[in-house]
Amino acid sequence: MLTYIIRRLIGALAMLIVISMVTFGIFYIVPQWAGATPEALASRYVGRAATPETVHLVAQKLGFYDPVVVQYGRFVKGLVAGAEYDYGAGVEQCPAPCFGYSFISGQPVWPDLLDRLPVTFSLAIGAAIIWVLAGIGVGVLSALRRGSFFDRLSMGTALAGVSLPIFFTGMITLVIFSYGLGWTAPGGAYTAFLDNPAQWAYNLLLPWITLAFLFAAGYARLTRAGMLETMGEDYIRTARAKGLREREVIVKHGLRAALTPILTLFGIDFGLLIGGAVLTETTYTLPGLGQYAILAIRNQDLPQVMGVVLIAALFVVIASLVVDLLYAVVDPRVRLS
Amino acid sequence: MTAPLDVSGSAAEAHPESVLAGAGKAIQGRSLTRIAWMRLRRDKIALAGGVVVLLLIIMSIFSSPIIAAFGHPPLEFHQDAIDQNTLLPKGTFGGMSSEYLLGVEPVNGRDIFSRIVAGAGISLLIGFLATLVSVLIGTVMGVLAGYFGGWVDQVIGRIMDVFLAFPLLVFAIALAGVIPDKGFGLEGNGLRVAMLIFIIGFFSWPSIGRIVRGQTLSLREREFVDAARSLGARHGYILFREVLPNLMAPILVYATLLIPTNILFEAALSFLGVGINPPTPTWGGMLSEAVRFYTLPHFVLFPGLAIFITVLAFNLFGDGLRDAFDPRAH
């Protein structure tokens, strides 16, 4: 078991290194296609009023003339050990993990990311609870009553659900429940859970349900397909034959096997969601990582983009690592292979 | 005398289609494609999806005559249809009338019907071509990984893992956000369409790649591949003549199911303002303009419904196609 954990940890670390390299490479190269020179990048730090000599000096100090490998090395060093920026007028300390400074605001990126993480996390966790319960519940019931009215209705709804873009359902629900009926908060409001849990839930209720509906639809379809497959297996007949109650057969033998692929999917979905629910946050104007990503991209604020992409990738890698380790606990075949 | 081989008995129940097609005729071998087509023909919901898809394609091909007959040019302003005090459309339901079938947009009074019809073309074009890009990349990678195995499989498998761990939407937005105005001999929105096709296709190939890899793995062990190999066939011959033709069905099915995902992807990018530039009409772009006018439901509703109907039709058809090709479904 220990070797398995270590192997998976090394794999996850390697994955993060590759992702950071690819991200850095792409966001280093693509702006140059769009015509960005080292001087143009540097002038975003010092402002438009600076003389060409100052810009040149700053570009040199920030190392924009160095080869991409050297720049990447400096970026990683900043992440691991922190960095010092010497602007000439003084030295600025950027403690680890240092993602650098925003081109636009001049603020360090890492505290911004920390500020926005709770919003996205609140959105993801609430939606995840709803969609897992609803999706798996509906999927199991549909599979058990295959062909019934309930099955057709819920699968029809689920198919509609996966075909609806969230920015459309988001707008419709806002128009109906918030502006129209006044039952829920309009977008844009976020209250920290620790400040006021009731207000926190009230503000997030509509995004939760809308986001959960989208995912629940997919999970219900998957659960139904998985249940139909496992309930036809021989060991289900064996379990019934040895006189287990139907409830136990369904939950302990049928559902347990059907859940395996869903667990994998959940790991990836949840990880991706914490890294920024871009569309949901844009529709409901929630100040989370997704909205941050969009703003960073619109401003072409490279350090911010790097920060948010890496954080998002980190969560996916962590989530799939956790899922893999859970498998190893549940299924001895995994850790021995 | 009792007939020992009564076709109306158990055999017919096990294979209903053999009765439908084979009544009175000698039993003949049927290809998987023919069996699938017969199953698909009986799946009314899937067929309905297919018909809607066909209608959408026809609509986008003949968008100019349709707009000329039933609407106004999609970029034309109609200040006469707008109340100059509120900047909202005159009349009820956002100015819906025989003149403007689905009403007009606030402020500039553009014909919503024409814009929806014109937007279909871009959605479908990007949906189809982006899927083609991902099918090409996914098939090549999947076949190589599945057929050669070993370190090739390891490397390609890791690449697919990295892609799955990427925050793709953020990444695609970032890339689409820095598309220059000129390049590769194209300009403006022409270049943007080409780049979007490439970006969306490039980010959605691993799903096809995984399926192709799995199918290739099982095909590789089949007898006819063994036979070809023992007859001295080269890798290239086996791949193109033996393996690839047998992959066509799953590739077709999953390509059909990838098209709606890619249409949603394009709509999302246009909604976020990094897709096709206005004033060119796109459904996602129309929705993002509608955000400011949430008091006008039709303004949100029509582009949203257009996306919904298109994506649903592709999903229904794709689901039916998969059931028709997948023997386990019956």
Interchain contact, A309 vs B174, CB within 8 Å: yes
Give me the amino acid identity at A48. R
Contacts of B115 by beta carbon, 8 Å cutoff, 6+ apart: B74, B105, B281, B286, B303
Cβ atoms of residues B174 and A298 within 8 Å:
no
Locate A70 and state its tokens: 């050297």
Give the separation between CA A254 and CA A247, rounded to whole angstroms.
10
Using a CB–CB cutoff of 8 Å, tell me whether A193 touches chain B: no
> What ipTM did this prediction achieve?
0.81
Locate A257 and state its tokens: 């096997």
Q: What is the pLDDT of residues A281-297, one digit of tens each?
A: 888 888 888 888 888 88
Q: What is the pLDDT of residues A86-109, one digit of tens each?
A: 655 666 777 777 887 777 777 888
Helices in A34-108 by DSSP H: which ranges?
38-46, 52-61, 68-81
Give the separation between CA A229 and CA A143, rounded to whole angstroms.
9
Cβ contacts of B174 on chain A, cutoff 8 Å? 27, 293, 297, 305, 309
Cβ atoms of residues B85 and B94 within 8 Å:
no
pTM higher than 0.90, yes or no?
Answer: no
Residue B229 has pLDDT above 60, yes or no: yes
The phi and psi torsions of B183 (rounded to 5 degrees) equal 160, 155
Locate A304 and state its tokens: 């911010």
Cβ contacts of A279 on chain B, cutoff 8 Å? 169, 268, 271-272
SS3 category, A110: helix
Residue A78 has pLDDT above 70, yes or no: yes
Give the separation between CA A321 and CA A323, rounded to whole angstroms.
5
Lowest mean pLDDT of A176-185, B89-98, B256-265, name the range.
Answer: B89-98
Cα–Cα distances (Å) from B76 to A91, B84, B106, B117, in that order, read 57, 17, 13, 14
Give the separation between CA A94 and CA A90, rounded to whole angstroms.
13
- The minimal CB distance from B294 to the residues A167, A171, A305 is found for A171
pLDDT, residue B3, reads 45
Q: How confident is the model at residue B133 (pLDDT cuts 50, 70, 90)?
A: very high
Using a CB–CB cutoff of 8 Å, tell me whether A22 touches chain B: yes
**How many other C-beta atoms can be found within 10 angstroms of the C-beta atom of residue A123?**
25
The phi and psi torsions of A86 (rounded to 5 degrees) equal -105, 105
Closest CA in chain A for residue B314? A163
Q: How confident is the model at residue A30 (pLDDT cuts 50, 70, 90)?
A: low
Lowest mean pLDDT of B13-22, B46-55, B170-179, B192-201, name the range.
Answer: B13-22
- The minimal CB distance from A272 to the residues B167, B295, B297 is found for B167
Give the separation between CA B75 and CA A187, rounded to whole angstroms.
31
Crossing angle between the packed helical segments A2-33 and A68-81, to the nearest 10 degrees: 130
Give the separation between CA B191 and CA B188, rounded to whole angstroms.
6
Cβ atoms of residues A253 and A247 within 8 Å:
no
C-alpha B126: how far from its chain's center? Answer: 9
Interchain contact, A172 vs B304, CB within 8 Å: yes
Using a CB–CB cutoff of 8 Å, tell me whether B300 touches chain A: yes
**What single string gives the DSSP state of each residue in A119-176?**
HHHHHHHHHHHHHHHHHHHHHHHHHHTTTSHHHHHHHHHHHHHHHS-HHHHHHHHIII
Residue A143 has pLDDT above 50, yes or no: yes
Give the separation between CA A313 and CA A16, rounded to whole angstroms.
7
Residue B255 pairs in a beta bridge with: none
Using a CB–CB cutoff of 8 Å, tell me whether A274 touches chain B: no
Query: Mean pLDDT of all residues in chain A?
Result: 81
* DSSP run (H or E) holding A277: none
Closest CA in chain A for residue B161? A15
